[in-house]
A and B are shown apart, each in its own frame.
Chain A
């Protein structure tokens, strides 16, 4: 069985600071994918970034990067230069051998001016 753990239920960060959202995972699959999604207060789920288990480079998408440490089974999301619009719930998820995503419980990020 796969499991995703997000240990930070909530975070307060000052605008323009960098943010690291923690995610650890557990799986027995050799090939898997890790995803981060953002859910603003409006409720939609927005895909942010993807990391494959065999990718040697950490994934980056604009201000988002994924700090992938395979041996530690961690896939932390880093947001550089945070903005007020980054305030949202953030979910880490993974897909392994079976279809469908396993989600963590999320981190509620609040950016303060």
Chain B
């Protein structure tokens, strides 16, 4: 199916465990993003990637690791999960800025609800 998918959709893990959230998009979009959504905070950017092998930190990167070996995949790893990382995680992608200067909208995956106990 075309679009952007995330797996798993729900995950419960224990404090200190490593967990990886997967994101896959079929549009060949250059840019991919990870956000977390917490009550009272809206969505906050964790990491983003402008292309394969190019990643950069967002607003709240501590405790997270990303990689992007292929354009279509952008996994997010919590190396040692903490309770404060309990959240809903959204992956998103967008195309590059076009020559007219229009900034393309981001398309979001369905989200992963992560609970750290």
Which residues of chain B are within 8 angstroms of A103 by Cβ–Cβ distance? 35, 42-44
Could you tell me how many residues of chain B have their Cβ less than 8 Å away from some Cβ of chain A?
26
B110 interface residue per 8 A CB criterion: yes
Contact B105 A100 (CB under 8 A): no
A33 to B95, CA, bound (A): 14
B74 interface residue per 8 A CB criterion: no
Contact B45 A101 (CB under 8 A): yes
A33 to B35, CA, bound (A): 18
Closest Cβ–Cβ distance, residue B115 to chain A (whole Å): 15
Q: Which residues of A contact B (CB under 8 A)?
A: 4, 31-33, 35, 37, 43-45, 47, 50, 52, 54, 91, 93, 95, 99-106
Q: Which residues of B contact A (CB under 8 A)?
A: 31, 33, 35, 40-45, 48, 50, 56, 58-59, 88, 90, 92, 101-103, 105-108, 110-111
Which 10 residue pairs across A and B have the least CB separation, nearest first?
Answer: A33-B103, A45-B108, A103-B42, A100-B45, A103-B43, A105-B42, A47-B105, A100-B48, A99-B48, A100-B58
